[in-house]
Amino acid sequence: MSSPRQVFYISDRTGLTAENIGEALLNQFGNLSFKRHTHPFVDTPEKARAVVEKVNRSRQENGQRPIAFVSVVDDEIRRIIKGADAFQINFFETFLGLLEKELNTEATVSGQGHHSIGNTKRYDARMEAVNFSLNHDDGVSDKNLQEADVILMGVSRSGKTPTCLYLALQYGIRAANYPLIPDDLESADLPRMVKPYKDKLFGLTIQPERLQAIRQERRPNSAYARIDTCRSEVADAQSMFRRHGIPFANTTDKSVEELAVHILQACKLKRRF
């Protein structure tokens, strides 16, 4: 096996965008191996020159041209990075000119990145949503449940909490969650606490074997972690969702990002930012 190809992510902001699209592209070359170097906040000429030096050194040491995914808004920084001896994929440069032509307007490059808050509205919405989700985690309180944008329900350890938090952080969605306990599952009715909010419910389900593994980790060799417990709880929860026409998704093979976007779509939720 040949030595891994060096990959640099270079950005004058968080670099998350460069990384996301870079990883999606590299994923298409599953038979090759890559070694990644991440350089966020390269926002001064000095920092830019230091990164260029690093890239060039890597080129000499490895004999191969590194690959650089560059997402830099600032013109001067971009010019400096361009001098690095790497195969460069530059998101901004590639598309900005095309867009300027299509929009018939010159770009007014602003250092203010899209991740900056600018005004505090986005920050407020996010804080509020995160606090809401934390206060309504595991069905601890039905106070203000009418203010929830969505209520996730599912058996214990089906992935409700991370999904709620992701919805809050990423979209400012007020996501509460309600754990289905055996008492709930035995009843043909919806749990009393969430019944008034049927239109806000979204169900999470999970493969019993996976659930078993997660629960086993948490409470080894308990009744709670037994495979037949997991099987019957999951089956009961799914029947409940079907009986009451509650949309649901299987979390087993989905990442939190995928789940969140899926829930947004299914419940027609409006992002707060």
Half-sphere CA count of 206, side-chain side, radius 13 A: 24
Q: By CB under 8 A, tell whether 215 contacts its own copies.
A: no
Could you tell me the smallest distance in angstroms from the CB atom of residue 192 to its own copies? Answer: 26
Q: By CB under 8 A, tell whether 109 contacts its own copies.
A: yes
Residues 122-141 that bind its own copies (CB under 8 A): 122-123, 126-127, 130-131, 134, 137
User: 3, 50, 57, 112: which one contacts its own copies (CB under 8 A)?
Assistant: 112
Which residue, 218, 184, 186, is CA-closest to 201?
Answer: 184
157 marked as binding residue: yes
Enumerate residues 6+ apart whose C-beta is below 8 A from 53: none
Q: What counts of helices (H) and strands (E) characterise the chain?
A: 10, 8
- Print the binding letters for residues 140-179 with its own copies: x by CB under 8 A, - otherwise: -------------------x-xx--xx--x----------
User: 35, 57, 79, 115: which one contacts its own copies (CB under 8 A)?
Assistant: 115
Which residues partner with 71 through β-bridges?
A: 11
Q: By CB under 8 A, tell whether 227 contacts its own copies.
A: no
Which residue, 145, 184, 163, 171, is CA-closest to 248?
Answer: 163
C-alpha span between 211 and 207 (Å, rounded): 6
Q: Output Rg (C-alpha) for the chain, integer angstroms.
A: 24
Residues 88-107 that bind its own copies (CB under 8 A): 89, 91-92, 94-96, 98-99, 102-103, 105, 107
105 marked as binding residue: no
Positions at the binding site for ADP: 154-161
